[in-house]
Structure 1
Amino acid sequence: MELNNIKPAEGAKHAKRRVGRGIGSGLGKTAGRGHKGQKSRSGGYHKVGFEGGQMPMHRRLPKRGFKSHLLKFNAEITLTALEALGLAEVNLVALKQAGAVGELAKVVKVINTGAITKAVKLSGIGATAGAKAAIEAAGGAVA
C-alpha cells in the first residue's frame, strides 16, 4: 500500500446535488423549488407555528399547569413493597440495588399502602404519618 493509492471506501463519497445547472440535470430553471411564492425565494420562509398571519395555535390556547423538573428525583415505596424486600435495614442504596426505586432517585418516601408485619429500620428515607405508625407498630423504626 502506498500513500498515492489510498482511496475512500466504496460508496463513502457521492456527488452533491447541483441545482440550477440546466435542464439536462433535472434540477434546472426553478431548481426543484416549484414556481414563485415565498418558499421559492432565497431566505423566504416563516417561523415554526406560523399560520399565515392568523393567531397561531400556541397563542390561541391558554397557558395551563406546571410540572416540576425536580420530580424525577423523587420516588415513593409502599409498605407492601417494603415487606417484599425482606431487608432488616433499608436505605437509599439498598432500594436502588433491589430495583424498588429508579437510579435517579434522591428522595424516597414510604407511603401507607398495604400492610407490614416485619420489623424494618429505615435510614435516610422519609415516611408519611400513617406509614410511620404502621412501621413502628410492626416493631420497626424510622430514623
Structure 2
Amino acid sequence: MTGWNRSVTLLCSAVIALALSGCNVARLTINTPLTPESVAFIAEGRTTLADVVDTLGAPDSITDTETGTIVTYRFLNAKYSRVNFGWLLKPWSPVDPDLVFSRSGLGTDAFELLCDDHWIVTHHAFVRHRPAPPFTPYPF
C-alpha cells in the first residue's frame, strides 16, 4: 500500500504543478494611490489648495466652474489574476485549449476637491470610476 500512496502523491503533485504553471498574477499601480488616511489632513473650509499640493503633489487636472474650481487627482491600483486550466490538456490535445478564469480591476479612481474663489477646499471626495468586482479570487 505504501507504493500506491507514493504514486498517488506523485501524481497529485504533478497535476498541481501543471495547474499552477498556467497561473498569472500581476499588479499595476499608476500614480500614488490615495487612501482616506492620506487625505485626512484636509479640513473643509480651512485647508488651502497650496497645502494639498504641498502634501499630495501636483493634481492631474484643474477645472474652473461657476461655483469655484474642481481639482482632480487620478490614480490606478489594479490587480489581475488569471488561471488557464487548458494548460492541463496541452500534452494530450492537438489544439491549444484556452480555459481561462480571470479577474481584472482596470479603471481609474479619482480624488476630487472643490475649492472656492480663494483656493480654500470646501468639499472633497473619492470618486470611483470602476465597479467593485463581483468576486475576489485568491490571492486578492
TM-score, normalisation: structure 1: 0.24
Using CA pairs below 8 Å that are at least 6 residues apart, which structure has the higher relative contact order?
2
Q: Which has the larger radius of gyration?
A: 1
Question: Which is richer in strand?
Answer: 2
TM-score, normalisation: structure 2: 0.25
